[in-house]
Every structure is written in C-alpha cells, then in structure tokens.
Amino acid sequence: MTLLKNYKSSFILLGGMIIGSLIGAVMGPKATMFMPLANLFLNLLYCCIVPMIFTSLVSAIANMQSTKKLGKILGIMLGLFILTGIIAAVYMLIVTILLNPAKGVNLNLTETMDGGSANADFFAMLTVDDFNLLWSRQNLMALIVFTMIFGIATSSLGEKGKPLVAFFDALSAVIIKVVGYVMYLAPIGLGAFFASLIGEQGSQIAGPLSRALIIFLLASLVYYFVSNTLFALIGGGKAGLAAFWKHIIPPSLTSLGTCSSAATIPTNLIAGKNIGLSNEINNLVIPMGANLHKDGAVLIQILKIVFMCEIFDVNILEPRNLITAIAISVLASCVMGAIPAGGYTGEIFIMSAFGFPAVAMPIMVLIGTITDAPATAINSTGDVGVGMIISRLIEGKGWMKQNLAMEKEEKMITPAKNVKLS
C-alpha cells in the first residue's frame, strides 16, 4: 500500500504510455490522429519552461550570499558534466565493440538527405541579437546567461533589490503550481504521443536496425540505473538513494514521452526540490544540464560512430579513432539543442571527423530518432544526480536533511507572515 501511495502518479503516467503504445501498435500509421492531444499537453508544458527558468534562476542567484559560491557551483558542475560524458562514451564503446550493432545489416545507401547546417560555434549559443529572442525555448542557453547576469545585478542592489527578489520567489512558486496543473494532463498527452510514435515508426523499429536498437535499449537501461544509483549514493548516501528513486520517476516518464530535455526541466526542478536540493543548486544545475549534460546523447553518438565504421569498413579500434569518437560524442552532445531532433549537429560532426559520405546521414538520423526516448531519460535524470553530488561537495554530508528541514520550517513560518492582528 505504501508503494502504491508513493508512486500512484507514476503508475498512472506509465499506464497512459503503455496504453498509448498498444494503440499505436494496433492502429499503425492511423494512430497519428492522436497527435493533437499530445501537442495540447506538450505546448502547455513548453510554455512553462522559459518563465520557470527565468524566475527560479533569478530567485536562486539573487538569494545567493556571494558570487564566489556561484563560481564554485559552476566549476564543479561543468567538470562533472564532462567527466560523466567521457565515462558514458567509454562505456558505450565497450558495449558496441563487443556486440557489433551493425552485424548482419545490409543497407542500400543510395538516398541522399539535406542535413542542413550545424551550429558548431558553442559561443553562439550564449547570446541572441534581439531581446525578444530570449523568450524562445530554442535559445535556452542565451536565456540562462542573461538570467544569471540579471540575478547577480539584482543581488548586488542589496536592500533595494529585496522587493524584486521576493517577487521572483513568489512568481517561481506560482509557476511550479502551474506545472503541477499541467501534469494532470500528462497521462493523456504522453499516451497520445506514444500512440503516434509507435504507429508511425513501428516498421522502422522492427526493420534492419532492430539489432542496434535492442543493443542500445539494453545498454541505456543498464546505464540509466547504474549511473543514477551511483550519483545518488555518492551525493546523498542511502537516504539520498531512496529519495532519488522516489521522486525521479515522473521526470523519467516525461522525458521518455516527450523526447525533450527541455520539456523535462519543470518536472526535474520539482523532483530536485522534493529530494532536498537547495534552490541555488537545483535552479542552476537543472536548466544548465538540460543544455550541456547529455550522457544519453553521448551513447547515441557512439552507437552511430561504431555502426557507420562497420558499414564503411573503418577500424574503430585504432587509438586515434577511439579518441576521436570520445571527443566528438561529448562535444556534439553539448552543442545539440535540448529539444526533440535538435538539428543534425551530431551527424555532421561525425561525418566530418571520420570522412563518411553524405549517404550516411539518413541512417544516422534514423538511428538517432528511434533511440531518442531512452537517451533523453538518461540526459534528464542525470542532471538531478549531478546536483546531488554538487550538494555533497559544497554543502557537506548532511545537505539533504538540512535543506529539507529548512524548507519545512519556511512553510510553517510563511502563513504566519500573512496574519493581520486586529
């Protein structure tokens, strides 16, 4: 009964996705008729992303006592992002070299595809040339940079900035409440999304790439549970591990159903808050992680590289190719957009580095498409785990108990502030 009570919403969400998948398998391409329902949910969720990032990040930074702490959090965070990306790349290289995802595949690589252009300029992601462009989820990194500057400026005002800080604190709480309302539609929305996805791509999933897909699903499942368990244990011990798996299921299912790290930001922020992450760490690491920390995307890039190396008879075991594969997979995952099908950045990087012909593009795009859901779950949930490790390093061993106690105390005090004496 306790299990059912703790995970009731997760079971309902999962049930909706399973029912949707079954409908898609039975109806086939006709199941795309349910996509408007999926879009209704996704559009409402997407509308929450930008205001949630802006209000929560301003609130977190403005309440921070020093910019030195901000710099420390950022330094540790970026170091962990790169380290976990390298670990993911090495892990997937071992799996794919041993199991060979392209074994027995006979592909007709005659079709061509316009891959568009990739944004390989990382610094171009940090700014936009017009203020109104900040409020698009396509420019989340630029929004985060602007918001950090805005938060630091607000904090530097001291007493003059306190009314604004209080405003953003309250507005952040309102946005979280709005997300809670939107998530009531999640079982229907995600179920409709899965019905459309399975109905439209079922034949591709069962085709010549099925071996690669099965290998990826098994490898990603192992990585999802092992990496998140280790992150939670390192960050919060046994108590942290229990709290992590209690609250991470909704973000996991949301990421599976939306294939979008950005769409998972709201549920991830709520999960981090429930686990006990401080506002300073939670509201900084989760949005930044959605853009820069994508271990799941690293796994996909390695799968593509090894698959195409086998097809075009390139020896992946050469030290130079191994190092290139690791570097390209981590770099590509960082500059890819945090939205579904965020451009062909990874494919273009891989083709440039290994000299694959243009006909390799459609196959790599297809591999990325059919493996996107589990990879996004790894991308998103890993951000919370990294936040727990950062909390341990900056706030000490008892960070979780201390932060949860402070939050409980604030909830008890807040109502008293609104009481008027007659």
What single-letter DSSP state applies at residue 130? S
Q: How many CA atoms lie within 13 A of 403 on its CB side?
A: 23
Give a yes or no: residue 11 inside a domain.
Answer: no
Give a yes or no: residue 9 inside a domain.
Answer: no
The pair of structure tokens assigned to 24 is 């898609």
Sign (positive or negative) of CA dihedral 327, 333, 335, 341: positive
Give me the pLDDT at residue 88, please. Answer: 96
The string of DSSP codes covering 33-58 is GGHHHHHHHHHHHHHHHHHHHHHHHH
The pair of structure tokens assigned to 381 is 């949930």
Give a yes or no: residue 422 inside a domain.
Answer: no
Go through 160-190 and write b for each residue having 16 or more CB atoms within 10 A of its CB, e for each that does not.
eeeebbeebbebbeebbebbeebbebbbbbb
How many domains does the structure of the chain reveal? 1
Contact 236, 59 (CB under 8 A): no
Give me the pLDDT at residue 411, please. Answer: 63
Give a yes or no: residue 10 inside a domain.
Answer: no
CA 318/CA 298 separation, integer angstroms: 20
Give me the pLDDT at residue 331, please. Answer: 81
The string of DSSP codes covering 316-382 is TTSHHHHHHHHHHHHHHHHHS-SSTT--SHHHHHHHHHHT--TTHHHHHHHHHHHTHHHHHHHHHHH
Q: Domain of 327: which CATH number? A: 1.10.3860.10
Sign (positive or negative) of CA dihedral 327, 329, 334, 337: positive
Give me the pLDDT at residue 414, please. Answer: 53
Contact 38, 16 (CB under 8 A): no
Q: How confident is the prediction along the chain (422 residues), in pLDDT tens digits per residue?
A: 555 565 677 778 778 888 988 898 888 888 889 989 888 888 888 888 888 888 888 888 888 767 788 888 889 999 999 999 999 999 999 999 999 888 876 655 544 434 333 444 456 667 888 888 888 877 777 888 898 899 889 888 888 888 998 898 889 889 888 988 888 888 898 888 888 877 876 655 555 677 888 899 999 999 999 999 999 999 999 999 999 999 999 899 888 888 888 888 989 999 999 999 998 899 889 988 888 889 999 999 999 999 989 888 889 999 999 999 999 898 878 766 544 444 456 677 788 788 888 777 777 877 887 788 899 999 999 999 999 999 999 999 889 888 888 777 766 655 544 434 33
Give me the pLDDT at residue 97, please. Answer: 93
Domain that holds residue 65: 16-410
Give me the pLDDT at residue 322, please. Answer: 93
Report CA-CA distances (Å) from 413 to 163, 198, 350. Answer: 19, 49, 55
Burial class (CB in 10 A: 0-12, 13-18, 19+), 246: middle
Give a yes or no: residue 25 inside a domain.
Answer: yes
Determine the residue type at 156. S
Determine the residue type at 252. S
Q: How many CA atoms lie within 13 A of 273 on its CB side?
A: 15
Contact 176, 51 (CB under 8 A): no
Sign (positive or negative) of CA dihedral 351, 357, 358, 360: negative
Sign (positive or negative) of CA dihedral 154, 156, 159, 160: negative
Give me the pLDDT at residue 95, please. Answer: 96
The pair of structure tokens assigned to 156 is 């530097």
CA 73/CA 137 separation, integer angstroms: 24
Give the number of other CB atoms < 10 A from CB of residue 317. 10
Give a yes or no: residue 6 inside a domain.
Answer: no
pTM of the model: 0.77
Give a yes or no: residue 2 inside a domain.
Answer: no
Give a yes or no: residue 100 inside a domain.
Answer: yes
